[in-house]
Amino acid sequence: MLWDSVPGQGALKKRLSDAVRHGQVSHAYILEAADLSAGMQMARGFSQLLLCEYGTGCGTCRSCRLVEMGSHLDVIYVLPEKNNVLTVDEIRKKLVDDMEIRPFRSSRKIYVVDQADKMTVEAQNALLKTLEEPPSYGIILLLAENSESFLPTILSRCVLLRLQTDPDPEERFPEEERRAVLSVCLNLHELDSTGISGAVDSWQEAHIPSETVVMLFRYWFRDMLLWKSAGNDTRFLLHSESRNIREAAEHYSFQQIQKALSAVDRAETRIYLNVNETIAFNMLLMDCRPVTENRPLTAEEFDEYLIPDEEEKRFYRMES
Closest C-alpha among 36, 67, 30, 31 to residue 52: 67
Mean pLDDT of 47-58: 92
Q: What is the pLDDT of residue 126?
A: 95
Q: Does the model's pTM come out above 0.75?
A: no
The DSSP bridge partners found for residue 143 are: 31
**Average pLDDT of the chain, as a whole number:** 86
Sheet of strand 75-78, all strands in order from the earlier edge strand to the far edge: 75-78, 109-113, 138-144, 28-32, 159-162
pLDDT exceeds cutoff 60 at 125 = yes
Coil, strand or helix: which one is 31?
strand
Position with higher pLDDT, 9 vs 45:
45
Q: What is the pLDDT of residue 180?
A: 95
Query: Residue ranges of the alpha helices (H) in the chain?
Result: 2-5, 10-21, 36-51, 62-69, 88-91, 121-132, 152-155, 175-187, 193-205, 210-230, 242-249, 254-272, 277-288, 299-303, 310-319
Q: CB under 8 Å to 98, separation ≥6 — which residues? A: 76, 111
Q: What is the pLDDT of residue 312?
A: 44
Q: What is the pLDDT of residue 187?
A: 94
Q: What is the pLDDT of residue 167?
A: 58
Q: How many residues does the chain have?
A: 320
Q: What is the pLDDT of residue 309?
A: 45
Helix axis angle, 210-230 to 254-272, nearest 10°: 160
pLDDT exceeds cutoff 70 at 137 = yes
Instruction: Give the alpha-carbon dihedral of 226, 6, 110, 155, to 10 degrees.
Output: -80
Dist. CA 19–CA 23, nearest whole Å: 6
Q: What would the pLDDT profile of 63-98 be if each residue is shown by its tens digit?
A: 999 998 889 999 999 988 877 789 999 999 999 999
Structural domains of the chain sorted by starting position, each given as residue range(s) with its CATH number in brackets: 2-162 (3.40.50.300), 169-319 (1.20.272)
Q: What is the pLDDT of residue 83?
A: 74
Q: What is the pLDDT of residue 234?
A: 73
Q: What is the pLDDT of residue 212?
A: 92
CA 249-252-253 angle, 5° bins: 120
E strand or H helix at 93: none
pLDDT exceeds cutoff 80 at 128 = yes
